[in-house]
Amino acid sequence: MNPDLAGIIPPLPTSFHDNEELYPEKIRENINQLLQYELRGILVLGSNGELVLLSEKEKEQVFMVARESIPDDKLMIAGTGGQSTRETITLTQMAASCGADLALVLNPFYYKGLMTKEVLVNHYHEVADSSDIPVLIYNMPGNSGMDMDAETLLAIADHPNIIGLKDSGGDIKKMEEVIHMTGDDFQVLAGGAGFLLPALKAGAVGGILALANIRAEKCLDILSAYSDGDFKKAEDIQQGIIPLNLAITRKWGVPALKAAMDHIGLYGGAARKPLMPLDPDMRKELVELL
């Protein structure tokens, strides 16, 4: 049986000291506080976890701290995407050995012109063949500069150990096509709170949402209202969260999310350079949205 992904999952930012060294105690504290909500689990080392800025040893440390902090009845999803198939397999096996339930794999993107459908399918299938845990496809055009089309996603999904998709592109028509063309065992998650409700209407089972780190209750309320058939309530909440969600995703990104976490009593702390903290005017604008 594949894990049930239905629900809301925050992609946890990685906590650093001011000197940019890992701060495991704060990772643990943030997980404990977030899981006071009825979340399905926690994603570590997604895009908001600054995966590409950590060494392999640091990634392993984050995986271990997360598994120690996440109870067995909650999912631990680990971001393991690398630029080579070899690296991705190594990280995925490392995550599994640390106790992760699933691996979230961002596609390789550095050699964009060579990332054909055949290359991407082969990459994902080799990773899935080598993995002891189920694999989720991660389509994140905002960071990768590539938006995998439905044909490619469906070909990748045609593997028994690839059980779902996190799509952060926001193309609802494409999500709907993937959902329609895959079986019941393949689960799609919205990758942005700004289109959570449209994704649910298309057949998504939930979302991995940056906003869930700071407004978990709003994300859960959208899911609950939709499940209850109260579509007006769901729409009202959906419209209300869009400005804040834009600020912490497309406008200012990880530094804004961390600043928002600091403001509400979680630990955000510093982002790792080259990411820079918000200037005072940006921070003031962000606080007004909270």
Is 233 labeled as catalytic in the residue annotation?
A: no
Tell whether the model's pLDDT for residue 1 goes beyond 90. Answer: no
Residue 182 lies in a domain: yes
pLDDT at residue 183 in the model: 84
Residue 258 lies in a domain: no
pLDDT at residue 242 in the model: 97
In three state form, how does the secondary structure of the chain look?
Answer: CCCCCCEEECEECCCECCCCCECHHHHHHHHHHHCCCCCCEEEECCHHHCHHHCCHHHHHHHHHHHHHHCCCCCEEEEECCCCCHHHHHHHHHHHHHCCCCEEEEECCCCCHHHCCHHHHHHHHHHHHHHCCCCEEEEECHHHHCCCCCHHHHHHHHCCCCEEEEEECCCCHHHHHHHHHHCCCCCEEEECCHHHHHHHHHHCCCEEECHHHHCCHHHHHHHHHHHHHCCHHHHHHHHHHHHHHHHHHHHHCCHHHHHHHHHHHCCCCCCCCCCCCCCCHHHHHHHHHHC
Q: For the chain, what is the domain count?
A: 1
CATH number of residue 54's parent domain? 3.20.20.70
Residue 132 lies in a domain: yes
Residue 284 lies in a domain: no
Residue 221 lies in a domain: yes
Residue 281 lies in a domain: no
Q: pLDDT tens digit string along 183-223?
A: 889 999 999 999 999 999 999 999 999 999 999 999 999 99
Domain that holds residue 65: 7-230
Q: pLDDT tens digit string along 15-62?
A: 999 999 999 999 999 999 999 999 999 999 999 999 999 999 999 999
Residue 220 lies in a domain: yes
pLDDT at residue 162 in the model: 98
- What percent of the chain is modeled with pLDDT above 90? 99
Pick the catalytic residue from 166, 174, 218, 258: 166
Residue 251 lies in a domain: no
